[in-house]
Amino acid sequence: MNLLICPVCHEQLKLADKTWRCENNHSYDVAKQGYVNLHVVQHKHSKNPGDTPESVQARRAFLSAGHYGPLQRAAVEKIKTLRIENLLDIGCGEGYYTNAMQGEVMQCVGVDIAKNAVQIAAKVNKAVTWVVGTGATLPVLDSSIDMCTSLFSPIPKAEILRVLKPHAYLMVVTPGPQHLYAMREALFEEVQAHEPHKFADQLGDAFELIDESLIDAPMTLQQQDLKNLIAMTPYAYKAKPKRRTTLESAEQLALAAQFQIFIFQKK
């Protein structure tokens, strides 16, 4: 089943000869890297939306080193338990988590607004349908998805409700209370614990929280991995340059990553 819809008229898209086309003859070519761009001009708020190429490359290098492996494995286990057929990963980035989750489902769609990230993702796993698109108007059929996932990404509630089947699932991953606390202490004068449960509160009217878990991932980072971690987070531009430079000069740093995983079911 083709899950994608035209971003202009919202009719179902069908793939033929490396072109996605709807019944109104709007067409979208598959790029040579293997993705399709469904982020039309009228939905854009900037010329190059999403993460910068520098941030994407830093994240790819950091995640490829396996530091967030505990989260990747935990997410895959959740999906395996629920026996998902069609999965939509919102904010898939360069595909680190999407790539692993695809092995447990029949169909997998990865959507991200950053074209440079999707270009990288599409080279890694041809079994995923990779899409440049926006969560504000997900280019996916109504009531077609068994699970939406949002790992450190926006949660477009209305659109998620539209694309999910009745009683289908939403996985949300957010920073745990103590996530990267030592690094944040080095970068900022005041540091507060993250509040992951605010997401659960915001979704409570439309979803039932059926499972939650906290994943700890202690690590000792060498200098280059530390620089990549800083560069892939919002801390890169929020921290004062002097504090960032001082931290990046450290030869290594012991850190604790902490992830909160929520599984919701559509009411």
Contact between residue 55 and residue 231 where contact means Cβ atoms under 8 Å apart: yes
Per the structure block, which two tokens stand in for 92? 């898939």
pLDDT tens readout for residues 136-154: 999 999 999 999 999 999 9
Domains contained in the chain, CATH given: 14-266 (3.40.50.150)
pTM greater than 0.85: yes
CA distances from 208 to 125, 160, 211, 262 (A): 32, 14, 9, 10
pLDDT tens readout for residues 43-100: 545 555 568 899 999 999 999 999 999 999 999 999 999 999 999 999 999 999 999 9
Paired with 122 in beta bridges are none
**Rounded-to-integer distance, Cα 139 and Cα 220, Å:** 40
Contact between residue 148 and residue 170 where contact means Cβ atoms under 8 Å apart: yes
Longest dimension (CA), the chain: 58
Ranges of beta strands (E only) in 194-251 are: 207-222
Going by DSSP bridges, is the β-strand pair 86-90/145-151 parallel, antiparallel, or unpaired? parallel
94 is in an annotated binding site: yes
**Rounded-to-integer distance, Cα 46 and Cα 147, Å:** 29
**Rounded-to-integer distance, Cα 204 and Cα 50, Å:** 28
148 is in an annotated binding site: no
* pLDDT higher than 80, residue 196: yes
Contact between residue 48 and residue 69 where contact means Cβ atoms under 8 Å apart: no
> Buried b vs exposed e over 59-81: b needs ≥16 C-beta within 10 Å?
bbbbbebebbebbbebbbebbee
9 is in an annotated binding site: yes
169 is in an annotated binding site: no
For residue 40, the model assigns a pLDDT of: 84
